[in-house]
Amino acid sequence: MNKLFLLLLLLWLNTGYGVERIYNYDISIDLQADGSMLVTENIDIEIAGINIKRGIYRDFPVSYKDNKGIKYQVAFDVLETSLDGDPVNSILQEKGRYMRLYLGSKQKMAPTGRHTYSIKYRTNHQLGFFPEQDELYWSAIGPDWAFPIERSRVELSFPVAIAAAQIATEFYTGTYGAREQAASSGSTSGAAWFETTAPLAPGQGFTIVASFPKGIFVEPTNTEKLARLLRDNAAILAAVIGFIALLIYMYWAWNKAGRDPLAGTIFPRYKAPSGLSPAAVRYVQKMNFDDKGFSAAIISLAIKGYLQINNPQKKEYSLLKTQAPVGAKN
């Protein structure tokens, strides 16, 4: 039993979860008057050289789609990075719909022990504008950390004074899509705060929601929304423009070479073209053989003397084939 316990303990330590962990994950969000956000993250972490070797990285979502499949882009502009207050090397790489920020250097191992990484960045288009209120729905800590987080606190400040009673707060903890609420929150004049009340296991996140009165931030106009929609969905815009250009070209080509010539003056002709019977002319006109074509063929044969039409009772007709043309007319 003791050997099994020691084996499990060694496996636990080798994963890094028994040593490498985030003690405090503090986030400060300053909402700017233009609706953008100035964010500072302080990550108090234990480094043991197991999973964290040359530094840490942070994934930030910059692209998402709504329930209609419309794509939206947000900015992620890194302003400062530091380790224990001193500047630290950082590299930003695109990873699908995320931007990954590496803190550290490939040529240098990260110092072991307890240290604090700090990230300061600016982002935009994070506010939601609704008929009765505006809102910030923010994934403060995404569910992608491979280490337990013992505690997290988020502080939110507004550019103008707002009564605490006008700020409504919500929060969610757990894995992606979970709606657990192992946290607490509150608001003061012009600010709000959120804090976890239980550690976050690896793969768990912390989402905050703050609702506040309209008018604090200027809502984008319909023109601005359309411009952003077109900018964020450039591929769709290019497809629409290409389709319109194709239609214009097809119309030009049809008008240039494919349009039927204009009809001229129509002259009546009382005789069938040479070499064509009335039935044949009817077929050429309709491109099929109908009752009128059949009647024209019968009358044509009768006129030429190959057929005799009898109508003794003037109600029913009978056709009689002649042996030789009688009174044939050309």
Burial track 270-285 (b if 16+ CB lie within 10 A, e otherwise): eeeeeeebbbbbbbee
Window from 81-85, 167-171, 193-197, 214-218 with minimum mean pLDDT: 214-218
Does residue 329 have a pLDDT over 60? no
Helix H or strand E segment including 94: strand 90-95
CA–CA distance, 11 with 5 (Å, rounded to integer): 10
pLDDT average, residue stretch 77-87: 96
Q: Higher pLDDT residue, 212 or 253?
A: 212
Return the pLDDT at 312.
66
The pLDDT value recorded for residue 30 is: 97
Write the burial class of residue 42 (CB in 10 Å: 0-12 exposed, 13-18 middle, 19+ buried). middle
**pTM (two decimals):** 0.68
Rounded to whole angstroms, the Cα distance separating 208 from 197 reads 14
Task: List, for residues 38-74, the tens digit of each pLDDT value.
Answer: 999 999 999 999 989 999 999 999 887 776 777 788 8
Q: Determine the Cα–Cα distance for residues 211 and 127; give it in Å rounded to an integer.
A: 10
Residues 175-217: tens digit of each pLDDT: 988 889 999 999 999 999 999 999 999 999 999 999 999 999 9
Cβ contacts of 275 within 8 Å, gap of 6 or more: none
pLDDT digits (tens, 9 = 90+) for 18-48: 589 999 999 999 999 999 999 999 999 999 9
